[in-house]
Amino acid sequence: MLKAALPARFLSSPGPGGWRRRQRTRQRSLLPVSAALVTNPASFEVGRLLGSYGFMNITSYSSSQSGGLPNIAGIQDLSLGYSPEEIERLRVQDVGEGEVKIRLYEGRVVQGPLKGTQTVFKVYPGAIAGASEANLMALNELRTHAFLQTDAKYISENIQFLLGAFETATGEQWLAFRDDGRYSAADYAKIASEMQLKERPNYWNPYDRAYKLELRRYFVLKLLNGAMCGLVHMHNHDRLHQSLGPSSVVLNTVAEKNGYYLLPQLRDLAFSVDIGYSSLGVGALSEGLWRRASAAGASTPLEKRAFGVADDIYGAGLLLAYMAFIPFCKAGIMDGISLQRLLENTFRLDIYAAREYCLEDDQLSEAIKFLDLGDGAGWELLQAMLNPDYRKRPTAEAVLNHRFITGAVL
């Protein structure tokens, strides 16, 4: 390992939990921040439009036999050792972009104790536009953040911080978040992959490429570690994310040289689900989750709760796969949808079979080497998180403590 690539403060605590120990220390800086929400529109100043996007959410749970990639060199003719009954039990997420379009604006707080705080506004369409689903999503996101911020002593720095909310005369719901970063993990992956198209060999410094790869590996592992810290916090407080992906992880930087200061945060909690035993099976936005739970054989409250947690872990597994491949491949070689189809449909979640296939493509070599760290620790974790049997998937805490996510493999 090139130690020059990594900050000495990280190297001094390479054991499991090394990143989290420092994060808990930094978390004290959040204690003076009031958890009370600002609800007066006059307390905010709205700036320029930053953009818009649609939520990605799980729309159904379908058999992995359907769809898939073209039959490349007969690869789909492989049986992979599954019986027809086992194949039928394999279930994969169908993810689609919802109809609700969100607008983002920059802004700041202009009144009160938080005056001067930079904000990012998330705007849900109003009732005039017939956006009943948007109202449910906005209310659910507001309630989830408010619940997670109830006690200022236990606010996670790895979840976006809600400053306030208000409704306009047209029925639009405005949520104001502290501006801790505007990039997403998807933005970073796109930038990293595009940069590789412009790279030229450095004949003056033959170690330059190895140095950059160490920075990239550190950055991606720090990103995944932070995302899992946020997910652990949610699960410990009986909340599922249910929309976890590269676009739902906010970053304060995309510069790999600044990896030590990277602060990933989970956002987009509109589909979050309360899995407290008194709330299981309740909520219009969670009907799909409980249908999938029943289809998977989860009938008791304990089984439904376990299924919900495992469902989030599956989403986190897809995030791990995305971050392991996209930033380490040149732009155009691999994309998120193709990667998901490769793992789910072509190889029916046999991750080691997928590795053997990827070994034949030199353009995927750096992604393979990344997951090979620690004697294949990345593949081991990926296989566990994407296990076809939800009962065998690890908890978020177990994922966070895995040697791949702690950074011990570096």
Low-confidence ranges of the chain (pLDDT < 70): 1-35, 55-99, 127-131, 202-206
Q: How far is CA 338 from CA 303, 317, 344, 363, in A?
A: 32, 15, 10, 15
182 within 8 A of 50, measured Cβ to Cβ? yes
Q: What is the mean pLDDT of the chain?
A: 83
Q: Which pLDDT value is given to residue 92?
A: 40
pLDDT at 35: 57
Q: Which pLDDT belongs to residue 128?
A: 58
Specify the pLDDT at position 376.
Answer: 97
Q: What is the pLDDT of residue 152?
A: 84
Give 344-362 pLDDT, tens digit per residue.
999 999 999 999 999 999 9
Residue 410: per-residue pLDDT? 83
Provide the pLDDT for residue 227. 98
